[in-house]
Amino acid sequence: MNDAVTRVFVASRNAKKIQEMERILAPLVPDVTVVGLDDVPFYEEPVEDAPTFEGNALIKARAGFLATGLPSVADDSGLCVDALNGMPGVLSARWGGRPRGLDLGRDQRNNELLLDQLADVPDAARSAHFTCSVAFVWAGGESVVEGRMDGRVIREVRGSGGFGYDVLFEADDRPSLTTAELSREDKDAISHRGKALRQIGPRIAEALGR
């Protein structure tokens, strides 16, 4: 088997996200190496301007496949808060805006803004869910799946694991703990990304002839 079919490209520089994908894909697609943007020659990343998670995931996966020639996986995910009419949604990663002056870090800006926007929302109305669309593009075609994790936004930051809004989110399947307080195994079992990757894993295996 040549190198082009023993590696899968993940269109991301987020080390935690790549590791999470690798953990979940490992038992489904044995012996396949997952590589990220920092492991391949530079290419111009596309603008994620689709109005849906599925559309943005496809934009990234198609660009990755064209640039690398490798079977390419990309995801787009975000937090959808009921009290905010489903926002931040596809804008989750940039909800807090561009850095200004002394940058606090993107995740911290996003989380502080979200807490401010929900400050007057009672606990019973703080329901939310994470959505993740994962797109897989290879020589034989394209496939997109979606995963969802329901829960609620709490009032204070808790936990040191995960990334993004994990420190503010309690999943219905693991009440009283934020997803940043869960073990990697627990989070993988219930997360939106974990659910989507477990759906796409067999399709990747089939595409690679496993």
The catalytic residues are 76
43 labelled as ligand-binding?
no
- Contacts for 166 with CB less than 8 Å, ≥ 6 apart: 159, 178, 179, 180, 187
136 labelled as ligand-binding?
no
76 labelled as ligand-binding?
yes
23 labelled as ligand-binding?
no
195 labelled as ligand-binding?
no
150 labelled as ligand-binding?
no
14 labelled as ligand-binding?
yes
77 labelled as ligand-binding?
yes
Q: How far is CA 104 from CA 98, 109, 112, 118, 153, in A?
A: 11, 6, 10, 20, 21
CB 103 within 8 A of CB 166: no
187 labelled as ligand-binding?
yes
Residues making up the annotated binding site for Mg(2+) are: 76
Residues making up the annotated binding site are: 12-17, 76-77, 163-166, 187, 192-193
